[in-house]
Chain A
Amino acid sequence: MRYIEPHGHMVSRTTDDYRAMAMAGCQAVCEPAFWAGFDRSSAQGFYDYFCQLTQHEPRRASMFGLPHYTWLCINPKESEDLALADEVLAIIPEFMDSPNVLGIGEIGLNKNSRNEMTVLEKHVDLAGSNDQLILVHTPHLEDKRKGTRLILDVLKSDSRIRPERCIIDHVEEHTVGMVLDDGFWAGMTLYPETKCTANRAIDILEVYGNERIWMNSACDWGISVPLAVPQAAQEMKRRGNDAQYIDKVVYQNPIEFMSQSPRFIRPVGL
């Protein structure tokens, strides 16, 4: 089996995880910028993080034959401080020409506050001004429905933003419909407790189809499983899905979306 991990926070994972993913058939790993579990105290902390994402992590992944791609932003959990957000937004262009940068992400909302909205709009402007792909984080749990609606409205209000160049991640049963109906891509995150289980993700595919949708592990420093995507693929097989159907969801669809960036190189797919 071959698959792509389109959303993994590998800076939080061990080298053993890279090895396990490669052995499970992973062909490429893509890492959006995120919250490290604690607040960074200055823009310099983000500068170092962006260096890690664009220089160090690709080298670590290459030890296992894995191409590594990334997305840049200040995440919504650190967007309440508008002054800090402006400083971080100012340094992002310096990294946007790095060879493994696919776009702006994972931007979005966390608690759906006014400041988070302001920073989201600035990220969308940055992406629109530079013709970048967008990867969106939707809020957690009770905040997801409202936040997803607000995010879609921001994206749709900017005429430079094309829905087919945006992936709205962490969809669940109550948000996937609005995302796909508006022409965006949808990402399903496979988490043991929050977001989607493998079985619920497969149910969503049965109900909404397998176009413009992918699965990811979003493995990070919290409760998460780096092999969640190949495990879900195994569950799809158990449920009777054929190899072509599974390959489209876990391999072809991520390639279709990310190939909209000229930096994404189609894997050999061994």
Chain B
Amino acid sequence: MADQKNILDLYFLDARARLIDIAAFMDRVDRAGGETDFRYNAYREALKALESGQPDRAEKVLLAFSDPTDEPIPAATTKAACGAWPGADED
């Protein structure tokens, strides 16, 4: 297993660039104005997982975007997934 310095040597610049991209994306959304929607709300909620201090941040981010219910929906009205759960009323 590599130590932290090895991991940072390999991935720090890439992760730094991705973090700036996230910041720029949020600035872009805010600049665009208009009403926000469930996807952006879920995005901001998912960001909180980054501060958890636990080594399961990726799992927590995925769960923040996931449908938390357990029962099949009555019928599929679309084929596509949009990346965030719209809520029970939207299924």
Asked if A111 contacts B6 (CB within 8 A), the reply is: no
How many residues on A have C-beta within 8 angstroms of the other chain's C-beta atoms? 31
When C-beta atoms are compared, the residue in chain A nearest to B77 turns out to be A111
Which residues of A219-236 are within 8 A (CB) of B?
none
The 10 lowest CB-CB distance pairs between A and B, nearest first, are A111-B76, A140-B81, A141-B81, A113-B76, A174-B62, A173-B59, A145-B66, A173-B58, A142-B85, A174-B59
Taking CB atoms, residues of chain B closer than 8 Å to A238 are 10
**Residues of A that sit less than 8 Å from B by CB:** 35, 77, 80, 110-117, 139-146, 149-150, 172-174, 199-200, 203, 206, 238-240
* Chain A nearest CB, measured from B60 CB (Å): 8
Query: Which DSSP category, helix, strand, loop or mixed, fits chain B's interface?
Result: loop
Produce 1/0 per residue, B63-91, CB < 8 A to A: 10111111011111111111111000000
Number of B residues near A (Cβ < 8 Å) is 30
- Assuming the contacts A142-B85, A239-B10, asked whether A114 and B67 have C-beta atoms less than 8 A apart, the reply is no
B78 cross-chain contacts in A, Cβ below 8 A: 111
Given A113-B73, A114-B72, A115-B76, answer yes or no on A174-B2 (Cβ-Cβ < 8 Å).
Answer: no
Decide: B66 and A146 in contact? CB cutoff 8 A: yes
Name the residue on B nearest A118 (C-beta). Answer: B72
Contacts of A173 in B (CB 8 A): 56, 58-59, 62
A146 proximity list for chain B (CB < 8 A): 66-70
